[in-house]
Chains A and B, each alone.
Chain A
Amino acid sequence: MTVTAPASRETPPRRGRRARPGRSGKILSAVAGIVLASAAVVVQQYVPDAKAMGSPLTYTGEMNQEVSADRFSVRVRSVSAARAIENVILEDDPKRTEARGIFLIVQVSATVPKQPTHLVARLLTAEDTVYEPTDRVAAQLTFRETWIQPGWWNSGVYVFEVPPEVIAGARIVITVPTGALVGEAFPPEAEVDLGLDEAAAADLVAKAEPVRQLGKKGSS
């Protein structure tokens, strides 16, 4: 009793001191609160949105330059144009298809450091319009269905059907196929400028082959 009584007498003032800080302390904590809250608001602006989260890590390069995109390396070798394409799946039965604009044929080589993969491509115009490879050339005749293996370079073509006026300034973007349901965060992709200015694009269209054969032999 005699021991506990002074202790209980001492504690209430301490508690009171802690709970009730002086006026300067109040102002300080209010300022600190406001600073912390506004800092939180500022930081919130830098949180990547869904689009940024799903956006790829892009490695850029030029024609005939090895572009290493982490999980694969590509080299874009040449660009040519054709008015029509003959799909040679069975040697005696070529299937011919005429372009509504023009066929742009991009010759690509690729290798991987470790994991074999397929590679998909799309064409990005100067205005960032996206052209998927044409479905009028059988996928099996293109690089889309080639397995890229570690240890050596494989070659093939991607074919795009485009209006001739979008060729100048176009880039090819090569990437790993994404899962149908689950999108990967930051998939690696290689973006290669095809190096075509207005004059080179016009020249390419002017010199377009009337018919290009694409087959297991003649794909190069």
Chain B
Amino acid sequence: MTSPSGGGSRRKRPVLIPVIAVLLASGLGITALLGGLDQVPDPPPEQLGEGAILDQGQFRTQFVAARYVFTPAANEFAEDQRHLELEFKVTNLGDRTTYVGSPQQPGKETTSSVLFAGSILRTTPPIRTEAGGVGAVLTGDELRSTQLHPGVATPVVVRYELDEATEVPDRIVLDMGTFELMGRFPSKVEDWSLATKRVNGKDVAEVAARVTLPVQQGERS
């Protein structure tokens, strides 16, 4: 009584399981051959040049110029100063005053930057300096300002102090990120953060535009 029924069920199983196995294997194989379940690659970043305007979400940013400024020593005790300056015209489109901030330093990139210059994700060639670049508002007077008030087109300069060994490039390429409104954890309060994407399991800032600027030569006495 028991042996025929057991044999019957045993005959059924070996058919079903290999069929499922083959189907799964071929499905996986086809998916793998087609490049896996990864998303469609993002479109390449926008290519911009001098004078172009980029919408960065929180800011509308115009790329005014890049220039090298040599300041000869004021007296025999001072030293010559060499600066690379990046000039922007930034309009804060957000609903509150924010600040210029500093550009990302090579090798110390972060996605937690919330200030304007943090969206200068990297430069090509990278500018290696001791302190990194410093951003400020161009006021035309001695008072230093770093504020970006809503609705005011503000000239901003990001300045790198170069040491003697650093060569000045003919042109510089800026990888610019953008900002998007995101809920903070755990408060859920909406605020502007750098737009990111996941690459190899790590969040990295997304490059929205590559801006190529010729480096102008200048001297300041």
Contact = CB atoms under 8 A, between A and B. Distances in A.
Contact of A98 (B140, B147, B186): B140
B141 A135 contact: no
B-side interface mostly:
loop
A120 to B, nearest CB: 13
Interface of B: 95-97, 139-147, 149-154, 186-189
Contact of B149 (A96, A97, A161): A161
Interface residues of A, number: 25
A134 B186 CA distance: 31
Contact of A51 (B95, B140, B189): B189
A117 to B, nearest CB: 23
B95 A130 contact: yes
A177 interface: no
Given A50-B188, A50-B189, A97 B154 contact: no
Given A101-B152, A163-B152, A95 B141 contact: yes
Interface in A57-114: 87, 95-98, 100-101
Interface of A: 49-51, 54, 87, 95-98, 100-101, 127-132, 134-136, 138, 161-163, 166
Contact of B188 (A51, A95, A130, A163): A51
A163 B151 contact: yes
A16 B154 CA distance: 81
Which 5 pairs of residues, A with B, have the shortest CB-CB distance?
A50-B187, A130-B96, A132-B97, A97-B143, A129-B95
Contacts of B153: 100
